[in-house]
Structure 1
Amino acid sequence: MQQQRRQTVRRSASGARRFLKRNVGVALGVTAAAAVLGAAPSASAGTGHADRGSVVTDVTTVAKFDFAAGEIPENITVDPDGSVTLSLLGSCAVCQRTHGPELMHISASGERTVLATGQVGEAISGNTRGSDGTVYYSVWAPGNAARNGVYKLLADGAPQRIAALPADTGPNGLAIDPTGRTLYIADSLKGIIWSVPAAGGPATPWLTDAALAPVPTEALPVGANGLRFHNGALWISNFNKGTLLRVPVTPAGTAAPIHVVTGGLPNIDDLSFLTPRSDVVFAAQNGSSSQNGPDRVVVIYPSGTYKPVLTSADGLASPSATAVRGDRLYITDGGVPEPHDPKLQTGRINFAALLANAAH
């Protein structure tokens, strides 16, 4: 019996080491002094439940926004220099504001710069960054074929539409492949993933499937939402169906069969990965539009199991996206329900707790 227990312990330790190597890797080497946009903790910041068992600790609010002015964070890209690029929804169908959307850059020191603006009635939804530093973003302009589509910022900072999408589509999450040649756009209304040459050109349906479609009976019919290109596959969240999907990209650039990573996560929004090599996911669940969807961030393990790591007790208010840089997790909060509290939060990732939870 003792020999069996020793063998079990050795197998558990071996599995933990494999998980650590595969899913944490270089992340354990990041410094504890990772910059948080140069801001001090907010007086209204959540506690982060900073005990040794918490996967995310030291939650702070590093930027607040004006909901009445349409500053409603939707999507986030963390840049190599520690700055962030945020999509601000403005006058979207859900928020019913009277201001246009913005694409905003916040430097590591906290300086804010508006990179691009949209028109009232539109939403700037997804954004991403090419390896050459080019910023791309989606404009969801309902019924307006002259505006709906994918844009990029030119070298002089001017916006340019590089691909048009039909007026009845809902361009949302945006991802770029590692070569920097192809952009992918999640269509939240049609159940389509579109592809676009990053240099500009026609948008073509890359994948159409019922697994990407919205649920028509929902108060807010939104299907494919968050989108990331990671480890040779597109990872897609379906907001209404509460699923996280993985679609491998074949050598020919086509879509392989869809794999359902997990389900049971109503209002799952955008997502990010622990490290470039890891399939451990941090996903936002946005509770602003459904009684069934809680405000929380969950960690999803490669097995498909998941665990809430942040909730409304940590100050979450309509969380819409996550991003990771080093040991720092970033969360955008739309703040849609009253009292409106749109903001950008960060927390510290506890890799030891992440590993311990995976082992169980």
Structure 2
Amino acid sequence: MFSTFSTLSTSAVSAAVLVATLTGTLAGTTPASASAPRPAPAASASAGPVTVTGARIAVHFDLAGGQTPENVALAPDGSSYVTFAKARRIAKLSPDGTSRILATLPAPADGGVHTPAMGFPLTTGIVRASDGTLYFLYATGTADLTGVWRLRPGGQPRRIAALPADGLPNGLALDSRGRTLYAADSVLGTVWSVPTAGGTPTAWSTAPELAAAGFLGANGLKFHDGSVWTTNTDRGTVLRIPVRRDGSAGPVRTEATGLPGIDDIAFTGCGDQLLAAIDATSEVALVRSDGSHTTVLTPADGLQNPTAIALRGSTVHVMSAAWLTAEDPNLVVARLNR
């Protein structure tokens, strides 16, 4: 999640003011330094042996219908599970591009006007367990609805853990072996941990590197190689937080800098190398294990404020919400050549 308001919002804030606000926020930030981050290397002209080719728009979503895709979870059968943020919906996207609504979340009594940073309720991060159970986040600015929700196959959505109403739960990751969900709060600068069975959340990490610097802090979230990886949108960083043997959070390590407006990430299968969706500039960057990065997809490939990225084999899936362009929320697919 990146934008404060879209053209679908009831806010009277104009797009021009929004863009100016976001640009000022990003330009006025500096990378976190508490964890001795690696310096941001200059982007090289080539991605080396790894390239992304053959990008095309596979699906166009309905902007007027609130189909602003926020996050995606891929299934082994070729389908995808998508959160439509503004519509408060969870949808299943078939391989042929057709979608089916699985659930619509209840609207808060006040319409969600107190949702931090946004002013409207929205569904955000989503993950899928091996048994088909979906876990996802819902932010409403109200205590009765904000939190971690679960949707079992054929069932109804149910909240399994409450999160603070004054926060914005955004990215979600699953450690299936540890039966733990991790949720990044972009406003409170916190990574929460919640058992997959549900229950009381734990403020797993409140490290200063997670904090916002004017708008959104910790955002995209993935569990990879025994660590929780998250992005910081304002600071343009990729962060690694090791999971200690007792389950507690280790010290934060800044793995990459110089990526303002970063949202979601996906690992390529080559060590710690990853792809990053840059919402602000409608780009995807290849971030190498040494922290250097190169742009591999741009608006010319169809990207419009990408909010989610995932890999199925060598196929890259990039969801764009068009929060700022207000033109064409879509799914772009491309080939990752390792």
Is the structural similarity TM-score above 0.5?
yes
- The corresponding residue for 2:160 is 162
Partner of 1:198: 196
Task: Structure 1 unaligned segments of length 5 or more: list them.
Answer: 1-51, 91-99, 288-293, 352-360
Q: Give the deviation of 1:103 after TM superposition.
A: 1.1
- Which range moves more in the overlay, 335-344 or 121-130? 335-344
Question: Which has the higher relative contact order, 1 or 2, with Cα contacts under 8 A spaced 6 or more apart?
Answer: 2
* Alpha-carbon displacement from aligned partner over 1:131-150 (angstroms, at most 9, x marks no partner): 222110000112x0000000
Change in Cα spacing, 1:297 to 1:347, as seen in structure 2 (3 Å) is same
Structure 2 CA distance, aligned partners of 1:111 and 1:74?
17
Question: Contact 1:165–1:203 (CA<8 Å) still a contact in 2?
Answer: yes
3-state secondary structure, aligned to 1:252: coil
SS in 1 for 2:64: helix
Give, in whole Å, the separation in 2 of the partners of 1:349 and 1:338: 26
Alignment match, 1:213: 211
In the other structure, the counterpart of 1:137 is 136
After superposition, give the CA deviation of every residue in 1:218-254 in whole Å (9 maximum; x if it has no partner): xxx1100000000100000001110000011011111
**1:53 to 1:208, Cα distance in 2 relative to 1, 3 A:** closer
Is 1:258 the counterpart of 2:257 in the alignment? no
- Distance in structure 1 (CA, Å) of the matches to 2:153 and 2:317: 27
SS at match of 1:313: helix
Give the whole-Å Cα distance in 2 for the aligned partners of 1:345 and 1:313: 11
Deviation at 1:76, TM superposition (A): 1.0
In 2: Cα distance, 1:262 partner to 1:227 partner: 15
Deviation at 1:321, TM superposition (A): 1.3
Q: How do residues 31-180 of structure 1 correspond to structure 2 at under 5 angstroms? A: 55-90=51-86, 100-118=87-105, 119=107, 121-142=120-141, 144-179=142-177
Q: CA deviation at 1:335?
A: 1.3
Cross-structure match for 1:312: 299
2:277 is matched with: 284
Q: CA deviation at 1:156?
A: 2.8
Contact 2:231 2:238 in 1 (8 A): yes
1:270 to 264, 271, 282: 264
Distance in 2 (CA, whole Å) between partners of 1:255 and 1:339 is 39
Relative to the length of structure 1, the TM-score reads 0.75
Structure with max Cα Rg: 1
Which digits, 9 at most, give the CA deviation of each residue in 1:83-117, with x for residues without a partner?
11111111xxxxxxxxx321111112333111121
**Deviations, residues 146-189 of structure 1 (Å, cap 9, x unaligned):** 00000010343210100001110110000010315110000111
Distance 1:253 1:53, change over 3 A: closer
Report if the CA contact (8 A) 1:115-1:157 is conserved: no
Note the C-alpha offset of 1:336: 2.1
Contact 2:179 2:195 in 1 (8 A): yes
The answer to which of 54-63 and 325-334 deviates more is 54-63
Counterpart amino acid of residue 286 in structure 1: D
Residue aligning to 1:295: 282
Report the CA distance between 1:53 and its aligned residue.
Answer: 7.9
Report the AA paired with residue 146 of structure 1: D
TM-score (norm 2): 0.80
Equivalent of 1:230 in 220, 224, 229: 224
Counterpart amino acid of residue 60 in structure 1: R
Distance 1:139 1:253 in 2: 25
Q: Distance in 2 between matches of 1:332 and 1:63?
A: 9
Contact 2:91 2:102 in 1 (8 A): yes
Contact 1:129 1:135 (8 Å CA) reproduced:
yes
Q: Residue 269 of structure 1: SS of its match in structure 2?
A: strand
Distance of aligned partners of 1:339 and 1:184 in 2 relative to their CA distance in 1, 3 Å threshold: closer
| Structure whose residues are more often helix by fraction | 1
For residues 339-350 of structure 1, what are the structure 2 equivalents within 5 Å? 339-350=326-337
Q: Is the 8 A contact 1:317 1:342 kept in 2?
A: yes
Match of 1:329 in 2: 316
State the Cα deviation string for residues 172-224 of structure 1 (Å, max 9, x = none). 000010315110000111110001110010111000011101113xxxx1100
Q: Which runs of 4+ in 1 moved over 3 A?
A: none
Structure 2: 5+ residue stretches without partners: 1-47, 112-119
CA distance in 2, matches of 1:211, 1:170: 17
Structure 1 residues 310 and 198: alpha-carbon distance in aligned structure 2, compared to 1, 3 A threshold: same
Whether the 8 Å contact between 2:71 and 2:307 is mirrored in structure 1 is yes
> In structure 2, what residue type is equivalent to 1:295?
S
Judged with a 3 Å threshold, the aligned counterparts in structure 2 of structure 1 residues 180 and 110 are, in CA distance, closer, same or farther, namely farther
CA distance in 2, matches of 1:101, 1:340: 20
